Amino acid sequence: MHTTTAQSPPTRLTWRQRLSRADVRYSPYAYVAPFFILFAVVGLFPLGYTFVVALNDWNLLTGPGEWVGLANFQRELTDKLFWNSIFNTFSIFLLSAIPQLIAATAIAAILDQNLRAKTFWRLSVIVPYVVTPVAVTLIFGNMFGERYGLINNVLSTIGMDPVMWKSETLPSHLAIAAMVNWRWTGYNALILLAAMQAVPRELYESAAIDGAGAVKRFFAITIPSIRPTMIFVVITATIGGLQIFTEPKLFDASASIPGGPGREYQTTVLYLWDLAFNRQEFGRASAVAWLLFLIIVAIGLINFQLSRSIAGSGPGRQKRRRKEKP
């Protein structure tokens, strides 16, 4: 004979229990929602609106004019001034980013040592970052003045010819790169210092017992250990360097043409600003903004792929692979 057991009816959840379950399920989305809402308002919407402006012959007062489609993009891709701004942007970026990363790594390595007054020295390197970019640019603009600047006065004192810092391409790029390096080197040094302090000290002690010197320990232990942080610094420096505007704009504030008399140091963002607010060509300016956005995205993807390949060849990954082998 088969006996059947009566199943008890499912208990109904109380209102408080349902509220507790909903809180556990949906509250995380509510916590992160403000960021995405703010990003959509100040990020995605301006990006889409800029693309709409780029497809029109736009006027600041009357709004959209004649629909031109991709004509603004085609015009910029064949404009010598646009490619001149791209060259200036990448030139200043390379002249600033490479020495900046090397100097920041060296400063971080020095600050990671057992120095006296550690806090004082670490606060000192961040002081240039606290100073506003406008003040930095005005000070450096006077220092690199062609007639009465401090740098040319020093060069004249030692018998050298003055340098045309504001009317020649390479000197102007070096001067602007000096401003960028002076302001951002200390900031990046503190980021790298934080990564260096997270490296286990036992590794250095073991290497020292094995006879490795300070230089060998730095390149064999420190650099591989802080590699992810260095990649982060490179990516952020790339994004910021390609959007440089304040330094070239105020380097020669009295110039009638932004970026030098022959546009020697007119960056892409400065060229965009000139199109929009000096020539009132907002459609072309929006097209330049989108082209710069695509360039930054492409370089960001390249950096991401390089970072993955570098991280995949790191010592930690190699150790894990050796452990996985039978």
Each residue's pLDDT, cut to its tens digit, for the chain (326 residues) gives: 455 555 555 667 677 777 777 777 888 888 888 888 888 888 888 889 999 999 988 877 777 778 888 999 999 999 999 999 999 999 999 999 999 999 999 999 999 888 888 888 888 898 888 888 888 888 898 899 888 889 999 999 998 888 999 889 999 999 999 999 998 999 999 999 999 998 888 888 888 888 888 888 888 888 888 888 888 888 888 888 899 998 999 888 777 788 888 899 999 999 999 999 888 889 999 999 999 999 988 988 887 787 667 655 555 554 444 454 55
Instruction: Kindly report each contact of residues 236-240 with a partner whose C-beta sits within 8 Å and lies 24 or more positions away, as own/partner.
Output: 237/97, 237/100, 237/101, 237/184, 237/188, 238/93, 238/97, 238/296, 238/299, 238/300, 238/303, 239/296, 239/300, 240/184
At residue 320, the pLDDT reads: 47
At residue 295, the pLDDT reads: 92
At residue 7, the pLDDT reads: 57
At residue 311, the pLDDT reads: 54
At residue 182, the pLDDT reads: 92
CA dihedral 314, 320, 323, 325 (to 10 degrees): -80
Query: Measuring CA to CA, how many Å separate 283 from each of 56, 66, 82?
Result: 6, 10, 14
At residue 3, the pLDDT reads: 55
Q: Is 66 left (phi over 0), alpha (psi -120 to 50) or beta?
A: beta
Block residue for tokens 């380097």: 251
CATH number of 79-324: 1.10.3720.10
